[in-house]
Copies of this chain bind each other. A is one copy, B any other.
Amino acid sequence: MDTDEMILVSIDDHAIEPPDLFENFVPEGLRDRAPRVVTEHGIERWTFEGTEITTPFGMCAVVSWPKDEWGFNPGRLGEVRPGCYDIHERVRDMNVNGVLASMCFPTMAGYNARTFYEADDKDLALIMLRAYNDWMRDAWCGQYPGRFIPMAIVPMWDAELCADEVRRMAASGVKAISFIEAPHAFGLPSLHTDYWDLMFGAMSDVGSVLCMHIGGSGRVITLAPEAPIDHQIVLPTQLTLMTAQDLLFSPVFRKFPDLKVALSEGGIGWIPHYLERADRHHENQAWLGNDFGGKRPSDIFREHFLACFITDRAGLKLRRDIGTDIIAWECDYPHTDTTWPKSPEVLHAELDAAGATDDEINRITFENSCRFFDFDPFVHIPKEHATVGALRALATDVDTTTTSKSEYLARFEAQRAGT
């Protein structure tokens, strides 16, 4: 298969929420109380109920910036590539990268709805959380049918409310739920408790997918006080296995045999080694009396998990030891690890080096994601218009060159001034 013939569905990208997000989705009398952007000393920050929400653009929206402008520093929206926050520009950036469809995690709102979870007024927080979900569904995804897999966040502070929101969103076609890898690290009940059963039950009923994005395990490890920043960036993809371990060796999958979990941005190269270890452990340590229903942990893993990667040569080489039905590709736009705008070339080279067949390429680039998320883009877009080549042909005018923050800001301000 040529690069141009591939079809790409990315199940890990990120929306940078635009300042007008809540305008059309919050009941009239509460609009003043919605999260809003304040500017201080040239830095824009979201605030909600008087609390500042840090938005580190410097790492969360670096796409197309020169590398020496990356960092954890905050900034202002105008400095980032418009595709980060403008849905029309986002689709153009998807086209130029040959990406048919995308699932976008929140930024300001937090994977675990942190912004709402931390607010004191939980009634208000729930209203705003639902407004975020409605915005994501209607304003971000709804304008381009077939181009987005919508994703919801849930009110983590109350499992019954989580279940309600899972059902409410599923009823309007949203079946991806952003969650957090290690809830116990955030003061929430762990995956080994029955606290989440109501939510997992609702998800099983409606066929929703639990998306455990990396980052949540960071709080689980105690780094040396002198450890460099590198640890915070390198380790999350390495530690997602702790989430797999938590779920595999908890009662969750026995109680919810239909529950599906995406290990978002978790990488895949660690999986064969981990599954060998888990299987050997289960076989070896019989005295622990684990009950996998006569199966091995690796069987259970393959029944429940979707293994997600951006770039992963080792994992692709061992794809058959993982399971070619449970591997899915991600773009990670606009984060530092994204392969944009050369995703098709990077991915094709890795699949080619691994000796993947055309059938395997299709599974990994879009079929597994579409099946797992119950998403059929071809209802809206014929397959022949969905390929890398066809999409790129629509985007010959998109500028992908490296562009500095100051240049983006100048353009942003010029546009706002109507010049």
Copies in the complex: 2
User: Of B220, B227, B230, B273, which is within 8 A of A281 by CB?
Assistant: B230
User: Of B221, B268, B281, B314, which is within 8 A of A318 by CB?
Assistant: B314
Task: Say yes or no: A67 contacts B287, CB within 8 Å.
Answer: yes
Residues 211-240 (chain A) with a chain B CB within 8 angstroms = 219-231, 233-235, 237-238
Among A227, A231, A233, the most chain B Cβ lie within 10 Å of the Cβ of: A227
A393 to B286, CA, bound (A): 33
A235 to B281, CA, bound (A): 10
Task: Say yes or no: A277 contacts B228, CB within 8 Å.
Answer: no
Given A267-B277, A284-B336, A286-B68, A192-B318 contact (CB < 8 Å):
no
Q: For A284, list chain B residues within 8 Å (CB).
A: 67, 336-337
Among A190, A192, A245, A277, the most chain B Cβ lie within 10 Å of the Cβ of: A277
User: Of B67, B221, B227, B315, which is within 8 A of A286 by CB?
Assistant: B67
A313 to B314, CA, bound (A): 13
Q: For A171, list chain B residues within 8 Å (CB).
A: none
Answer whether residue A206 sits at the interface, using C-beta atoms and an 8 A cutoff: no
* CB closest chain-B residue, reference A269: B273
Answer whether residue A191 sits at the interface, using C-beta atoms and an 8 A cutoff: yes
Among A190, A249, A287, the most chain B Cβ lie within 10 Å of the Cβ of: A287
A235 to B249, CA, bound (A): 12
Distance in Å from the Cβ of A48 to the closest Cβ of chain B? Answer: 28
Answer whether residue A52 sits at the interface, using C-beta atoms and an 8 A cutoff: no
Answer whether residue A348 sits at the interface, using C-beta atoms and an 8 A cutoff: no
A286 to B274, CA, bound (A): 31
Answer whether residue A158 sits at the interface, using C-beta atoms and an 8 A cutoff: no
A318 to B313, CA, bound (A): 11
B-contact bits for A166-184, CB 8 A (1 contact / 0 none): 0000000000000000101
Distance in Å from the Cβ of A331 to the closest Cβ of chain B? Answer: 15
A277 to B228, CA, bound (A): 16
Answer whether residue A288 sits at the interface, using C-beta atoms and an 8 A cutoff: yes
6 nearest CB pairs, A to B: A269-B273, A190-B224, A192-B226, A272-B314, A184-B224, A67-B286
- 20 A-B residue pairs with Cβ-Cβ distance under 8 Å, sorted by A, are A67-B286, A68-B286, A70-B286, A70-B287, A182-B224, A190-B227, A191-B224, A219-B222, A221-B222, A227-B246, A231-B245, A231-B246, A233-B281, A269-B276, A276-B312, A276-B313, A285-B336, A314-B321, A317-B318, A317-B321
